[in-house]
Structure 1
Amino acid sequence: MPLEARKDGTLVFGYLDPVSNDRARASDAVLVKTATPWAAELRAERFGAITTCDIAGEQRAQVVPHTSVSPVGIDSLVGVLLAGEVTIEQNGRQCALSPGDFVLYGGGRRFRLDLGRDYRWFLMRLDPGTSTLLRQTPDAMVAQELTSSPGGRILSSMLVELADRGHRLGPLSKGEMGEHVTGVLRTLVREYAGRHTPPAHAHRLLRVLEHIDRHLTEELSPARIAAAHHISVRSLHALFQHRGETLGDHIRQRRLSRIRQDLADPALADVPAYAVAARWGITDPSYFGRVFKIEFGLSPREFRRRSLPGRYAP
């Protein structure tokens, strides 16, 4: 990945945005400031729609975004401390981490990352769908450490194991593991966003979620869902707002999850991908292809090719 020695530090880019060889266009460009020329081992991996970089170094270092960073750059990052000490500061909030802790922060915002000696820092760039969810709960985006909650401890264990063993997985397994990690993270963020949800609202939301799962193959307009639960459309949307996502996002993600299962089913190998999508309520082929790739990091064609080697049907 490209490095450029400068008077004020080392410019590093392309570690989370490997398709970019142009530092002016790279969304992950950072400036690493050290007392001596910076040296570290970096290993980049891709897990479906998420990209990661395992960074290990011996020098104390301070990392800040390059001056060319813009709000349209990397929206959502997860940093996991595997060894050493790390402190991150963003928007006036400072967070100190110990090994095993992870932190959420916005890569497209100004931040300062202080790395102690003999550190190992596992950095993850999240998929667009999770970034959208985090933008709806902005407090969770700003140097927020969530490891101490039960869900946070589960996610921490997954991230540590992913950093240590993920590179040994095959391409399809990497994609699936990325989905699992993303799912747990989304659950954690929704739990964080809805921590003040009244019990009565939580019970009603659970019934709505179950209703949606039972009727994914049918029309799921807000009016129809609201009528089935004797609430107003406005109240329905408010339930999901407390959850930290929109009704439309939830329905789309649930449908895409079912479609993904069917595309990997050998018994359905001869059914065209667009027909599988239509069964689950997504009838526009071009829209389906676009949102599937955003959600899972692969086109439906490529996902099916990897899932059903030798039995692929377009």
Structure 2
Amino acid sequence: MPTEPTDDGSLVYGYLNTAAPRRGRAGDAVVVNSPGTAYEAELRPYRFGPLSACEITGDQDVLVRPWRPGGENRLVAGVLLDGDARLEQNGRETSAGPGGFLLYTGDRPFRLGIRGPYRYFVVDFEGSPLSLAQAVVRQVIANGQVAQAPAARIFAATLAEFADQAAHLDPATGRELGEHVVCLLRTVLRSAPRAEANSDGLFARVLDYVEAHLGDDLGPGAIAAAHHISVRYLHKLFHDAGDTVGGYIRRRRLDRIRGQLADPGQARRSVASLAAEWGIAEASHFSKLFRAEFGVSPREYREAALGGSSPSRVADRMS
């Protein structure tokens, strides 16, 4: 793994972005300081479809910081399998023990201290289509309350098992599981900010209503009327949850369609008919939405999910 000595420690790059030929093009570069000794660790990089990951194992205490922080679009999630860690970013501090989950952005200043011996599994979501508002990202990074939320604990347990099985996954399985990890993180992030107005269960009822009417002509007006609230207040409920009404409906519809695309029992149905069933009637628009959300076209996803044997792929008209 590429490393270079610096005055502040060891410059490590290419542990996530393994395709980077030199440090000037490596967006994952970090400076690692091991007090009183040269940095040594075993790094095992992996690629799971749109995700890059690395398992890092070492015996030393280390202090990690980004080499060239710059924007705030690169989300990094890690689970500590052994050892103890403390993360500082965005004016917050949080800690993690074995099984603990840390969330930060690689393009803003951070300090990650890990006491050895340790084993750390880190996943870079830069290449995944999370489509999150920066305000949401700023709220959840280095946030200990988020890390203790039920969805985050499920996500951390999934990452831990992912780390244990990563070396045994074939490329197709790794890609599919990578997509599931992206969906889990999206759930963690979008469920983290909750407004006090949601404590009466209204927001949960709204989500249940949306789920039951995804195939209908569903819009903010209909949803608000069904719950005897104003459209403005409906938008506030979603805003307080870090989301939008239209964005949430779109993702849930795409998730339903994606599930049917991977179902052998639906293999003879065209992509167009599946999309129309869930309220997306315009073919080219649906294809763009699907690719933006999942990184591949509907036809490519179906062929990969069904092992390239979909009998309907000739009839499909969305790609």
TM-score by length of 1: 0.84
Contiguous gaps of at least 5 residues in structure 1: none
Contact 1:87 1:96 in 2 (8 A): yes
2:153 aligned partner: 153
- Cα distance in 2, alignment partners of residues 26 and 265 from structure 1: 39
> Could you tell me which residue of structure 2 aligns to residue 103 of structure 1?
102
1:14-51 per-residue CA deviation (whole Å, 9 max, x = no partner) reads 33334443533433221222344433222223344433
For 2:161, give the aligned amino acid. E
Distance 2:177 2:145 in 1: 22
Q: Return closer, same or farther for 1:145/1:22 CA change in 2, 3 Å cut-off.
A: farther
What percentage of aligned pairs have identical amino acids?
41
In structure 1, the partner of 2:136 is: 136
Match of 1:46 in 2: 47
**What is aligned with 1:114?**
113
The residue matched to 1:159 in structure 2 has which SS?
Answer: helix
User: Does 5-14 or 106-115 show the bigger shift?
Assistant: 5-14
Unaligned 5+ residue runs, structure 2?
none
User: In the TM superposition, what whole-angstrom CA distance separates every residue of 1:118-138 from its partner, at most 9, and x where no partner exists?
Assistant: 221111223655461674263
Count of aligned pairs: 310
Aligned to 2:192: 192
Deviations 1:256-313 (A, max 9, x none): 1111111112233344434433432334545434443443344323322221124231
Match of 1:252 among 237, 245, 250: 250
CA distance in 2, matches of 1:281, 1:44: 40
The residue identity in structure 2 corresponding to 1:226 is A
Measure the CA separation in 2 of the matches of 1:54 and 1:70. 24
| 246-255 or 89-98, which deviates more | 89-98
Q: Which range moved further: 158-167 or 169-178?
A: 169-178
**CA 1:198 to 1:306, structure 2 compared with 1: closer, same or farther past 3 Å?**
closer
Q: Distance in 2 between matches of 1:84 and 1:308?
A: 41
- Once the two structures are superposed, the pairs formed by residues 1-314 of structure 1 within 5 Å of their partners are 1-34=1-34, 35-67=36-68, 69-71=69-71, 73-74=73-74, 76-126=75-125, 128-130=128-130, 132=132, 135-136=135-136, 138-144=138-144, 146-194=146-194, 196-200=196-200, 202=201, 204-312=202-310, 313=313
Instruction: Tell me the distance in 2 between the aligned counterparts of 1:289 and 1:73.
Output: 24
Does the 8 Å contact 2:129/2:294 carry over to 1? no
Instruction: Tell which deviates more after alignment, 211-220 or 180-189.
Output: 180-189
Q: 1:241, CA displacement in angstroms?
A: 1.7
Moved more, 228-237 or 12-21: 12-21
Retained in 2: the 8 A contact 1:85–1:99?
yes
TM superposition shift of 1:55 = 1.0
Against the structure 1 CA distance between its residues 103 and 197, is the aligned structure 2 distance closer, same or farther, given a 3 Å change threshold? farther
Q: 1:226 to 1:48 in 2, by over 3 A?
A: farther
Q: What is the rounded CA distance, in whole Å, between the counterparts of 1:194 and 1:55 in structure 2?
A: 34
- Give the deviation of 1:248 after TM superposition: 1.8
**Aligned equivalents of 2:297, 2:23: Cα separation in 1:** 27
Task: Give 3-state SS (helix, strand or coil) of 1:258's partner.
Answer: helix
> Does the CA contact (< 8 Å) of 1:101 and 1:145 recur in 2?
no
Distance 1:146 1:136 in 2: 12
Q: What is the Cα deviation at residue 107 of structure 1? A: 1.8
TM-superposition CA deviations, 1:74-114 (whole Å, max 9, x none) = 1x221211112222111332223211111122222100112
SS in 1 for 2:116: coil
Instruction: Indicate how the Cα distance of structure 1 residues 23 and 293 shifts in structure 2: closer, same or farther if over 3 A, else same.
Output: farther
Contact 1:89–1:111, Cα closer than 8 Å, also in 2: yes
Question: Against the structure 1 CA distance between its residues 309 and 128, is the aligned structure 2 distance closer, same or farther, given a 3 Å change threshold?
Answer: closer
Q: Give how far 1:139 is off.
A: 2.3
Aligned-partner Cα distance in 2 for 1:54–1:133? 28
Normalising by structure 2, report the TM-score: 0.83
Higher RCO (CA-CA < 8 Å; seq separation 6+): 1
